[in-house]
Structure 1
């Protein structure tokens, strides 16, 4: 399925940004589709973020190919990493550590050790590729591709939010993609969760409002079941993902492919 955003209109009294000085925010949001991971970011280093009271950063690009090939051409095995390098912030070290935790996650193997640098991550990728190639020479018929793009989606004096987009292809019917959002207190570098944003006891009302928005965005009637509409919610009960980001409109939640429906569903 395609990626699904779902946004909410949440009562302002529900929201307490306690980790950020208990700043109240009203949340509204949207249902929209994201661009494929790895396609939106420029391969060039960008200028630092201009606002003096927000986190300052510059975008970095690291890339490695198998041989002298053009990553834009089909069959060129490559890995590309695009990510922000924090240049100035009250919590510079903590924020960079948070960015690096997303950047250096294993590319394919869940539970594998994270790399300790971009070069180390690229080396992991090519070690796995070459091992697979030796075991199955037929896999040389197509190239492998991994593109990990981390971009800043929200940057204020109190909140710093990033999107990590993973795109990979190792053969098969279609590439795989996944998007993960991470929110930080810009002043301390602390990773923010929903418990940091809402007053205690928020879950039931938030879930109810989210279900209403989901049904509206997916054109489902109040009496339609999720199962009949093709969704995989356990026990046919709506649930929000843990994957969300703070933005100028409030909060947006995000479902990845295969999380709640088949790939073919838009």
Structure 2
């Protein structure tokens, strides 16, 4: 955990030192780090690299541990390397490695075009008594046939800061009912007929049966889910997002999440 301490320690200390009055719910402040490298002027955009990281830091909460847990989870996502491996110490280190890799690629192929970009943006998308949801979007381009992009939802218990899984918010045996509701909205999002066979349309599900992803968040309308590129279909079919309205999700949710 020492590696992610640089991101969370400031927020944790601020929460601990603001003990005069505790807020009724977690409070967040936006932090931004960004840099560019290479010839980035008007005449040299083809060799420019830019990186930007934005995230919300939990700075105060009814209990310090709430901020510590939320900030730790955000740090794990923000500080991970693009190519896997151990997390970096701070957002600056993530960006520095990205720009170093860009510089190395320019030296390796000096006659090529090296317009690189990388953005990681985490924002509070929902905050209510039942949950706090953050949307974590990563996008960029490092050469190759197409850019990269993925959306991850991070959902927490407001009272503890613990990250929630889909099974934890559902009643016993509620997954089947929620999947059935989700399939209706998935087909609407993909403009598929009710009788269309998902496998024939290019979508891969275990046993050919539609299943919602673990990638979920609360919003003002209900529950939203997101399939990233390559999760259930080849790249050309792209990503799919859907929302199950609150009224249709309620029968399958535990009372504390309604």
Q: TM-score, normalised by structure 1?
A: 0.71
Equivalent position of 1:135 in the other structure: 108
- 1:47 aligns with none
RMSD over aligned CA atoms reads 2.3
**CA deviation profile, 1:19-42 (whole Å, cap 9, x unmatched):** xxxxxxxxxxxxxxxxxxxxxxxx
Deviation of 1:209 (Å): 2.0
> What is the rounded CA distance, in whole Å, between the counterparts of 1:207 and 1:103 in structure 2?
30
Query: What is the match of residue 117 of structure 1?
Result: 90
Runs of 4+ that moved beyond 6 A: none
Match of 2:210 among 227, 238, 246: 238
How far apart are the structure 2 equivalents of 1:120 and 1:220?
Answer: 44
8 Å CA contact 2:182–2:212 kept in 1: the answer is yes
Query: Match of 2:156?
Result: 184
Give the equivalent residue in structure 1 for 2:69.
Answer: 94
1: CA distance between counterparts of 2:223 and 2:211? 16
Contact 2:156 2:163 in 1 (8 A): yes
Residue matched to 1:103: 78
C-alpha displacement of 1:230 = 2.8
The equivalent residue for 2:223 is 251
Asked if the contact 1:60–1:85 (Cα under 8 Å) also holds between the matched residues in 2, the reply is yes
- Structure 1 spans left out of the alignment, 5+ residues: 1-51
Q: Does the CA-based 8 Å contact 1:232-1:260 persist in structure 2?
A: yes
**Residues 216 and 144 of structure 1: CA distance in aligned 2, closer, same or farther (over 3 Å):** closer
Report which structure shows greater RCO (CA 8 Å, sep ≥6). Answer: 1
Measured after TM superposition, the shift of residue 135 of structure 1 is: 3.2
- Please tell me whether the aligned partners of residues 55 and 160 of structure 1 are also in contact (alpha carbons under 8 angstroms): no
Alpha-carbon offset, residue 81 of structure 1: 0.6
Structure 1 position 254, deviation (Å): 0.4
SS in 2 for 1:137: coil
Identify, as 1 or 2, the structure richer in helix.
2
SS at match of 2:146: coil
- 2:124 matched to 1:152? yes
In 2: Cα distance, 1:134 partner to 1:236 partner = 47
DSSP 3-state at the match of 1:260: coil
Residue 184 (structure 2) pairs with residue 212 (structure 1): yes
Q: Is the 8 A contact 1:53 1:157 kept in 2?
A: no
Matched, 1:66 2:20: no
- Secondary structure of 1:232's counterpart equals coil
Q: Is the 8 A contact 2:106 2:114 kept in 1?
A: no
Q: Which moved more, 1:152-161 or 1:212-221?
A: 212-221
Ranges in structure 2 where 5+ consecutive residues have no aligned partner: 1-22, 239-258
Instruction: Assess if the C-alpha contact under 8 Å between 2:56 and 2:122 holds in 1.
Output: yes
Match of 2:195 among 223, 246, 251: 223
Q: Distance in 1 between matches of 2:172 and 2:128?
A: 25
Q: Distance in 1 between matches of 2:203 and 2:76?
A: 31
- What is the count of residue pairs matched by the alignment? 211
